[in-house]
Amino acid sequence: MNTLTGKPELKRALFHIVSTIAMGFVAAKVLGVMALCVAFAFVAYVECKRKGHASLQQFVIEEFGDYMSDEEKADPPKLSGILPMLGALIVALTFLSQSQFGLMILIMALGDPAARIAGVWFSNKYGVEKYRLPWAKNKSMAGFAAIWIVGAILTALWGFTWSSVVVISFACALAESIGSRKTWYSDDNMLMPCAAIGAIKFSMLFV
């Protein structure tokens, strides 16, 4: 159900915000890189089993269906966003400072739901064929603008220069728009934080 009136998008958005911030805090303050690598391997194993066992997939849908996307509940199921997010956290903790890591987590937590909600609202109001991104017909310009704005506000609050604000927020919006659930390494939960990491490190070269 892809509509705001039935509240599934809002529910998934809230879950995404809370889970991303919680995972980021636990990753940074409790687990560390090695523990995250173990968690990544375990989740990867579960994902492989979920795709090959209908009973496990049905159990996951019954227990967590309200927080899953239509793609994750499809047959065969698409990749869960948890696996690429764990991969992104491993990369982020390796290359970013604590402050930069916090910025990346908030962009992930708030930007993706903002893009999803704006895209759904825009599609409901103007139709799913209008104002799509030229390079990603399944994504709307409204969603792209939403994540760009969220990223820009957060980056500015972190004290980056305006040129860095534009670079970092645009990189995140672009990465989210080209993300795909076909593989874990092309998922937007992996591409967007990796784009943020690259843009942040690039911007720090001119500070």
pLDDT in tens, 80-97: 677 888 888 888 888 999
Core vs surface per residue 166-194: b (16+ CB within 10 A) or e = bbbbbbbbbbbbebebeebeebbbbbbbb
Q: Return the pLDDT at 199.
A: 94
Quote the crossing angle between the two packed helices 33-52 and 54-64, to the nearest 10°: 120
Across the chain, mean pLDDT equals 81
Between strands 132-133 and 136-140, the pairing is antiparallel
Which carries the bigger pLDDT value, residue 112 or residue 72? Answer: 112
pLDDT given for residue 145 in this prediction: 92
CA 26/CA 12 separation, integer angstroms: 21
pTM of the predicted model over 0.95: no
Q: Which amino acid is at 136?
A: A
Q: Tell me, what's the pLDDT at 6?
A: 46
Is the pLDDT reported for residue 78 higher than 60? yes
Give the C-alpha distances (Å, rounded to integers) separating 123 from 119, 149, 174.
6, 19, 19
Mean pLDDT check: name the lowest of 44-58, 71-85, 121-135: 71-85
Q: How far apart are the first and last CA of the chain?
A: 46
pLDDT single digits (tens) 166-201: 999 999 999 888 876 666 567 777 888 889 999 999
